[in-house]
């Protein structure tokens, strides 16, 4: 069989060509910002937007100079280009304001020449391979024809051998059929004898079954008589039990009447005691109403559910103030409430950075939108409040701060002569033309720290 592997390998070699990058129409140019040393791998240009936007692509530095450098741009980030140095030719130092553009360069022409040469050589090699393949195919066809002729002779011999074997099989099959016919006739005779014997056995079983039915009928009649006698005895026993139950029911009625009479006596005694207690309560109420209106029992001062006392300065001691609650679902102490103003307060723990939601504890709900005052308990930041409802509000914890962005200098290049005559060398220098950017802003940073926040909610329904 012909070997096609060399042809496949040559086709793979033709496809392995040098990379050719797309050109850019009109080759627009921009300039560099800052100096570029031979070791730099990034460069900032004034406008990367005019360059190709799908790296990688070649970029020529110093397109307006006698000596240029070609680099390969591998990434674009704003106006900053990531470049591969030494892509084609030497690596040089470039000043700020160097003109750069995507132009047709020596690397593009070299890649084109290499690919044309490779394709041309591949076509020539492929033609030679095709000629060799054609010759090999002709030889394979001739060999296959010879092998087919030999195979035909072998097949003819096999057909003749199979015909002889089939004749022998046919004779053996005739003998087997005759033997099977004889065996079937013997089986039929044996089966007839077995059917006769089974018929005789079935007749005997039928006779025995008739005798069994007669015996079962006699036994059933005997059992029916016994059941009827037992039913008569059961009816007598039921009648006797009914007479006994009637006596029990009468005794139970007498006991129930006695218990009812006892309960009525106890109820009358309880009513008497209740009447006496009500008289005592009325007398106690009359005594309380006669006390002075400003009277407060000593036992109710400075205790839970009582009234607060005043210290020498005329204010409630801190020990008698109600404690502030913890996080969401607790706190909300009622500090003050009259016909118009309701004041509640509490504490909770900051739930995270940015805007968070806080609901008043339990089922607390104001009749309208309250005013919220909130501050950090043990920190220097502040708490911002928004979206206040009758059931809660949104908040965020912030710390003050200042953000600053530095200004940038816009430059251009100019040249100074190193000597007094026109033939002397010139040196490029940078000139600052303007300053742009730079700002200071006062802002704050939010925090997710678990800081305790104290809050007071005031609602006045008189407005």
DSSP state letters, 384-441: EEE---SSEEEEEEEEEEEEEEEEEEEEEEEEEESSSSTTS-EEEEEEEEEEEEEEEE
Would you state the pLDDT for residue 195? 74
Would you state the pLDDT for residue 435? 76
Hey, what are 389's tokens? 């409802």
Would you state the pLDDT for residue 411? 82
Nearest-angstrom CA–CA distance, 323 and 315: 17
Nearest-angstrom CA–CA distance, 67 and 116: 27
User: What is the CA 261 to chain-centroid distance, rounded?
Assistant: 76
Low-confidence residues of the chain, pLDDT below 70?
Answer: 1-15, 202, 205, 209, 212-213, 216-217, 220, 224, 230-231, 234-235, 237-263, 265-267, 269-297, 305-308, 313-339, 402-404, 414, 437-438, 440-443
Specify the 3-state DSSP secondary structure of 114. helix
**Residue in 374, 404, 408 with CA at minimum distance from that of residue 388:** 374
Would you state the pLDDT for residue 294? 47
Hey, what are 358's tokens? 């806080």
Residue 17: C-alpha distances to residues 6, 12, 71, 119 (Å): 18, 10, 20, 8
Specify the 3-state DSSP secondary structure of 363. coil
Would you state the pLDDT for residue 149? 85
Nearest-angstrom CA–CA distance, 451 and 351: 9
Range 143-173 burial, b when 16+ CB lie within 10 A, else e: eeeeeeeeeeeeeeeeeeeeeeeeeeeeeee
Are 447 and 401 spatial neighbours (Cβ–Cβ below 8 Å)?
Answer: no
Whole-model pTM over 0.85: no
Residue 379, Cβ density class (10 Å: 0-12 exposed, 13-18 middle, ≥19 buried): middle
Measure the N-to-C terminal CA separation of the chain; round to a whole number of Å: 105
* DSSP code at position 190: H
Would you state the pLDDT for residue 55? 96
Would you state the pLDDT for residue 301? 77
CB count within 10 Å of CB 305 equals: 5
The CA-based angle 431-437-443, given to 5 degrees, is 155
Specify the 3-state DSSP secondary structure of 64. coil
Q: What strands lie across the sheet with 29-31, from one edge to the other? A: 29-31, 99-101, 57-61, 69-77, 80-88, 42-44
* DSSP code at position 319: G
Each as own residue / partner, the long-range contacts of residues 368-372 (CB below 8 Å, 24 or more positions apart, any chain) are 368/459, 368/461, 369/459, 370/342, 370/457, 370/458, 370/459, 371/457, 371/458, 371/459, 372/455, 372/456, 372/457
Q: Is the peptide bond before 56 cis (omega within 30 degrees of 0)?
A: yes
Q: Are strands 99-101 and 80-88 parallel, antiparallel or unpaired?
A: unpaired
Would you state the pLDDT for residue 296? 65
pLDDT tens digits along 49-104: 999 999 999 999 999 999 999 999 999 999 999 999 999 989 999 999 999 999 99
The CA-based angle 300-302-303, given to 5 degrees, is 65
Length of the chain: 463
Q: What are the domain boundaries of the chain?
A: 324-460
Are 35 and 93 spatial neighbours (Cβ–Cβ below 8 Å)?
Answer: yes
Residue 171: C-alpha distances to residues 165, 175, 180 (Å): 10, 7, 15
């Amino acid at each position: 069989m012909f070997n096609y592997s060399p042809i496949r390998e040559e086709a793979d070699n033709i496809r392995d060509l040098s990379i050719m990058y797309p050109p850019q129409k009109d080759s627009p140019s921009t300039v560099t910002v800052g100096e570029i040393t031979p070791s730099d791998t990034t460069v900032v240009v004034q406008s990367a937007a005019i360059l190709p936007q799908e790296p990688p692509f070649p970029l020529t530095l110093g397109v307006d100079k006698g000596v240029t450098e070609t680099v390969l741009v591998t990434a674009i980030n704003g106006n900053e280009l990531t470049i591969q140095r030494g892509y084609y030719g030497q690596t040089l130092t470039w000043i700020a304001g160097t003109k750069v553009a995507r132009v047709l360069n020596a690397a593009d022409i070299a890649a084109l020449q290499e690919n044309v040469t490779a394709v041309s050589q591949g076509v020539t090699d492929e033609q030679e391979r095709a000629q060799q393949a054609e010759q090999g195919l002709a030889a394979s066809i001739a060999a296959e024809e010879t092998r087919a002729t030999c195979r035909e002779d072998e097949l003819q011999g096999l057909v003749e051998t199979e015909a002889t074997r089939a004749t022998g099989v046919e004779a053996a099959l005739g003998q087997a059929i005759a033997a099977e016919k004889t065996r079937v006739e013997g089986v039929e005779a044996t089966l007839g004898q077995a059917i006769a014997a089974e018929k005789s056995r079935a007749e005997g079983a039928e006779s025995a079954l008739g005798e069994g039915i007669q015996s079962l009928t006699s036994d059933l009649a005997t059992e029916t008589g016994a059941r009827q006698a037992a039913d008569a005895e059961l009816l007598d026993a039921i009648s006797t039990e009914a007479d006994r139950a009637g006596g029990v029911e009468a005794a139970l009625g007498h006991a129930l009447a006695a218990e009812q009479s006892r309960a009525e006596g106890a109820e009358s005694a309880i009513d008497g005691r209740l009447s006496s207690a009500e008289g005592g309560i009325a007398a106690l109420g009359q005594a309380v109403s006669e006390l002075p209106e400003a009277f407060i029992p000593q036992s109710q001062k400075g205790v839970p559910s009582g009234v607060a006392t005043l210290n020498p300065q005329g204010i409630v001691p801190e020990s008698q103030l109600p404690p502030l609650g913890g996080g969401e679902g607790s706190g909300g102490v009622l500090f003050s409430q009259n016909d118009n103003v309701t004041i509640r307060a509490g504490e909770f723990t900051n739930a995270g950075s940015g805007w968070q939601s806080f609901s008043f504890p339990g089922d607390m709900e104001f009749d309208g939108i309250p005013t919220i005052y909130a501050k950090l308990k043990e920190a220097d930041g502040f708490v911002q409040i928004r979206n206040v409802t009758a059931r809660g509000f949104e908040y965020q914890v912030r710390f003050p701060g200042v953000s600053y962005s530095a200004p940038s200098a816009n430059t251009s290049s100019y040249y100074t002569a190193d000597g007094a005559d026109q033939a002397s060398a010139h040196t490029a220098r940078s000139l600052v033309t303007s300053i742009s950017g730079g700002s200071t802003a006062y802002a704050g940073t939010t925090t997710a720290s678990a800081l305790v926040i104290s809050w007071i909610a005031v609602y006045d329904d008189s407005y």
